[in-house]
Structures are given as C-alpha cells and as structure tokens.
C-alpha cells in the first residue's frame, strides 16, 4: 500500500525565517509522481510542484526549493525568507502511474508565519 507522512502537524515561524516542511512516502511502485500543494484559508488546493520518480534533481523556484531523495523516500520543501502570505496548509501527495486520477495525500502541515 502507498502512504504519505507529514510528521509536522504545525509549524510557526517569524517572517524572514527559513522553514522546511518534511514529507516521507511509501510505495513499492517504481514509477510515480510526487506533488506539493498549498491550501490557503479559502480552501482551494494550489499546485506548487510535480516531480517524477526518475528525476531526483532538486529544484528552486524563487523562494521555494524542493529536495527529492529516493534513498530516503523523502520529498522536502523549503521556503526561504518566509512571508506572512506563505501561511497556509501544505500537502505532499503521491500518485502512482497507472492508478489513474488518484492522489494520496499526507495529513498536511499548517504553517503560520508571524510578522
């Protein structure tokens, strides 16, 4: 069975601090995708990034960066110089190629950035 674990339930930081959100996944499948989504208070899930299982390159997009390590089954997300607008719930998700249309989500990490 597949599973996604986000061990951090809530994180609180002060603006401009760096913060890393952890994600560990479990699957025996060799071909899969990993995602991060952001859910602001409005409720809509906003897509941030997708990674496939064959691409372990880290990625940086502005203040966001992602570290994918197959050896530890982790896909961590770092926000550099956090801002109040980053406050939201962040979800890590897994999809298995062939298991169409199904995302398996972690429980989410609530990030609060204080001014």
Chain contacts with another protein (rule: CB under 8 A): 33, 35, 37, 42-47, 50, 52, 91, 93, 95, 97, 99-108
Cβ nearer to another protein, comparing 82 with 111: 111
User: Least distance to another protein from the beta carbon of 83, Å?
Assistant: 23
CA–CA distance, 36 with 50 (Å, rounded to integer): 7
* Those residues with Cβ within 8 angstroms of residue 57's Cβ, 6 or more apart along the chain or in another chain: 68
User: Least distance to another protein from the beta carbon of 33, Å?
Assistant: 5
User: Least distance to another protein from the beta carbon of 97, Å?
Assistant: 8
User: Least distance to another protein from the beta carbon of 5, Å?
Assistant: 12
CA–CA distance, 65 with 78 (Å, rounded to integer): 5
CA–CA distance, 24 with 75 (Å, rounded to integer): 6
Cβ nearer to another protein, comparing 34 with 82: 34
Cβ nearer to another protein, comparing 82 with 95: 95
Written as six digits, the tokens of 66 are 């992602």
Given a contact cutoff of 8 angstroms between Cβ atoms, the answer to whether 90 and 4 are in contact is no
């Amino acid at each position: 069975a597949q599973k996604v674990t986000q061990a951090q339930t809530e994180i609180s930081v002060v603006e401009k601090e760096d913060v890393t959100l952890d994600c560990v996944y479990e699957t025996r499948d060799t071909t899969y995708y990993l995602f991060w989504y952001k859910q602001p208070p409005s409720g809509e899930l906003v897509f941030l990034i997708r990674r496939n299982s064959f691409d372990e390159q880290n990625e940086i997009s502005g203040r966001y960066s992602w570290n994918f390590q197959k050896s530890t089954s982790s896909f961590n997300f770092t926000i550099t110089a956090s801002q109040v607008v980053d406050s939201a719930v962040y979800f890590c998700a897994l999809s298995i190629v062939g298991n169409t249309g199904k995302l398996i989500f972690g429980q989410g990490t609530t990030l609060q950035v204080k001014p």
